[in-house]
Amino acid sequence: MNDARKTVENLFGGGRPPRPGGGGGGTQLPKIPGGLIALGVGAVIALWGVGSVFYTVQPEERGVVKRFGEVVKIADPGLHFKLPFGIDTVQLVATERVLKQEFGFRTTGVDADGASQYSDGDHNDESLMLSGDLNIIDVEWVVQYRIADPMQYIYSMREPTRTLRDISESVMRRAVGNRLGSEVLTTARVEISNLVRDEVQQAMERYETGIHIVTVELQDVVPPRAVQPAFNEVNEARQERERMINEAQKQANQQIPLARGQANRVIAEAEGYATERVNQARGETARFSAILAEYRTAPEVTRTRMYLETLNGVLPKIGSVVVQQDGQIAPVPLINLRDAQPAAKGERR
């Protein structure tokens, strides 16, 4: 207080002794009473203290209130009161804001159209990885996270975000190293993202960093530029293979139903033929059994009747045969008028 009073007195010339031999030649500032100076200093200190007792926590933040360095409470969003003169201090932590860390690239800003702009720097030390089949792959990804526990985030570890970065890179390299290069480039991207997210979250909980992993997203997963043309040729060959497989599958879908229909038709015809033959055999068996019963009753009559029935069925199918002895006149050909057909109109008779 005395130092502040002396400073104000010197500023306004209070208590300054007159110049020796001046004879009143210099201009003297009016002397300010010491009580007024003390009152002014007290007012300034009071205003400063009043201004420092209120603080505001934004909706996406939490405030860690410390009293002489010891945490006394976690303040929610809103206007709050604290002890002045540095007794209470507040450290604001953005707990609801989604933060991110980028690997293999850096976002520098947004252009006029809203598109992200990226730096031209080389980050191959982060992105180049070795797959399980010893292929080099350039992997760029983003880890999105938020601070779930402000206390753990501030006090459990010195650099939690640096720890998050190191663990994310280590887990991603292990996940890529356990996969074939073709899988990493094509079908396994979602599975790798989910695996890395879960393992990084487990590490964050184990180290009590207070960080919650929201998502892990693979951005660009490509081969190195030196082998990009060869990779494009492989992709074209793979697409051609898929096209041929799809075309063959299309033909199979067309031909298989036709073949099945033909097979079902043949089976149905065979079953019908089998049924017909079985029924015919049963009919023949029944007829033979009936003839056998008649034969046992009258064998001679039955035999004669069967002989005549056989001749009646055979003779109409053969022509007439004339047996001529030597010296006889040749028979005159007989025209069968019943079988003669009328000649067509305009045909000679």
Q: What pLDDT is attached to residue 316?
A: 78
* Residue 295, pLDDT score: 84
Q: Identify the domain boundary among 225, 245, 274.
A: 225
Rounded Cα distance between 120 and 206, Å, is 36
Is 231 inside any structural domain? no
Statement to judge: residues 172 and 144 lie in one domain: yes
Q: What per-residue confidence (pLDDT) applies to 339?
A: 59
- Count of domains observed in the chain: 2
With respect to residue 274, please indicate whether it lies within any of the assigned structural domains.
no
Residues 121 and 213 in one domain: yes
User: What tens-digit pLDDT sequence spans the chain (349 residues)?
Assistant: 455 455 545 544 444 454 444 444 445 555 556 566 666 666 656 555 555 788 888 888 898 899 888 888 888 898 888 888 778 888 899 998 999 999 999 888 777 776 777 776 778 889 999 999 998 999 999 999 999 999 999 988 889 999 999 999 999 999 999 999 889 988 899 999 999 999 999 999 999 999 999 999 999 898 888 888 888 888 889 889 999 999 999 999 999 999 999 999 999 999 999 999 999 999 989 988 888 888 888 888 888 888 888 888 887 777 666 666 776 676 666 666 665 555 555 544 4
Q: Are residues 105 and 217 in the same domain?
A: yes
Q: Does 278 reside within a domain?
A: no
Does 88 lie in the same domain as 104? no
Note the pLDDT of residue 23.
Answer: 47
Please give the structure tokens belonging to residue 157: 């570890």
Encoded tokens for 119: 């730096």
Q: Is residue 329 part of a domain?
A: no
Residues 88 and 197 in one domain: no
Q: What is the pLDDT of residue 41?
A: 60
pLDDT at 36: 61
Q: What is the pLDDT of residue 317?
A: 76
Shared domain check, 150 and 61: no
How far is residue 230's CA from residue 226's CA, in Å, rounded to a whole number?
Answer: 9
Position 244, amino acid = M
Shared domain check, 171 and 143? yes
Same domain, 75 and 87: yes
Q: How many CA atoms lie within 13 A of 159 on its CB side?
A: 5
Residue 275 inside a domain? The answer is: no
Whether residues 211 and 137 share a domain: the answer is yes
Q: Is 120 found in the same domain as 218?
A: yes
Residue 123 pLDDT: 84
Could you tell me the pTM of the whole model?
A: 0.56
Structure tokens at 308: 């005549």
The residue segments making up the domain with residue 159 are 98-109+116-225
| In-domain check, residue 191 | yes
Q: How far apart are CA 29 and CA 18, in angstroms?
A: 11
Domain end residue (candidates: 225, 240, 265): 225
| In a domain? residue 88 | yes
What pLDDT does 246 receive?
A: 95
